Amino acid sequence: MYKLLVFDWDGTLMDSQQEIISCFQWATHDLSMEPPTDEAIRNIIGLGMREAITALFPTLNSPEQQSALVERYRHYYFSPQKPPSALFEGVLELLHSLHEQGYFLAVATGKGRRGLDGVLKNTGLDALFHYSRCVDEAHSKPHPQMLEDVMDYLCVMPKDALMIGDTEYDLQMANNANVASVAVGCGAHEKSRLLMHNPLVYLDHTNELGDWLKQDPMTISQSLT
């Protein structure tokens, strides 16, 4: 039985994909840059901001231009006029149930600390998580540092931890930290891409995790093909 469940945030717990896409596109518009496609932005969800910009704009080498893009993105992301994203259906109930069952719950996210603290407060979930790690506190995924920091803080061994995420970066991070993973299909990356990284199981929605955890992991028969 796992002791620690570590969740990605965007695309795993919160349906924030369109919010991230819009903020990037508005930011590039302000700077008279060619806006990236929706698909290109989906591809980088989960990375740290600097890593995402490098992937989206490989020729944008000027630190000043990169900083300007980050500033405009954050301007829109933290705007009080922007409609907030919502948690996926069933996530609130899932997290309360897992907390009551005695699991350690944590977040490892490509969001910055300001962004994560804001959504934790707005959703009322801040009291449910025992620890969290953000990209401005550790290396970006798929580097294992965020997961390793969470396990160190909660004194949990890799064999007792489980990473839940919607992108290959989440699953790669888990593999790099010798942690098992669960892939969920409600976020940014398609099923075939996730299965390349050998998760224990692929779930269509995060809210299916509770039922899956009740099964004996050694007897799970769900197909990953």
Last-in-domain residue among 77, 104, 126: 77
Do 123 and 149 lie in one domain? The reply is: yes
Residue 225 confidence (pLDDT):
43
Active site residues: 8, 10
Residue 152 confidence (pLDDT):
98
Residue 224 placed within a domain: no
Residue 32 placed within a domain: yes
Residue 180 confidence (pLDDT):
97
Do 124 and 69 lie in one domain? The reply is: no
Residue 225 placed within a domain: no
Domain containing residue 154: 4-15+85-219
Residue 217 confidence (pLDDT):
56
Q: How many structural domains is the chain composed of?
A: 2
Residue 221 confidence (pLDDT):
43
Do 11 and 53 lie in one domain? The reply is: no
Do 89 and 56 lie in one domain? The reply is: no
Amino acid identity, position 199: P
Last-in-domain residue among 48, 77, 106: 77
CATH code of the domain in which 114 resides: 3.40.50.1000
Do 59 and 8 lie in one domain? The reply is: no
Do 111 and 51 lie in one domain? The reply is: no
Which alpha helices (H) appear in the chain, and where do they start and end? 17-30, 38-44, 49-56, 63-77, 91-100, 113-123, 145-154, 168-176, 191-195, 209-213
**The tokens 């409609």 sit on which residue?**
83
Give CA separation, 40 vs 17, 37, 57, in Å.
Answer: 12, 5, 10
pLDDT tens digit at each of 225 positions of the chain = 899 999 999 999 999 988 999 999 999 999 999 999 999 998 888 888 888 998 999 888 788 988 999 999 999 988 888 888 899 999 999 999 999 999 999 999 999 999 999 999 999 999 999 999 999 999 999 999 999 999 999 999 999 999 999 999 999 999 999 999 999 999 989 999 999 999 999 999 999 999 999 986 555 444 444
Residue 224 confidence (pLDDT):
43
Do 200 and 114 lie in one domain? The reply is: yes
Residue 61 confidence (pLDDT):
79
Do 89 and 195 lie in one domain? The reply is: yes
Do 116 and 164 lie in one domain? The reply is: yes
Distance, in Å, from the CA atom of 144 to the CA atom of 107, rounded to the nearest integer, reads 13
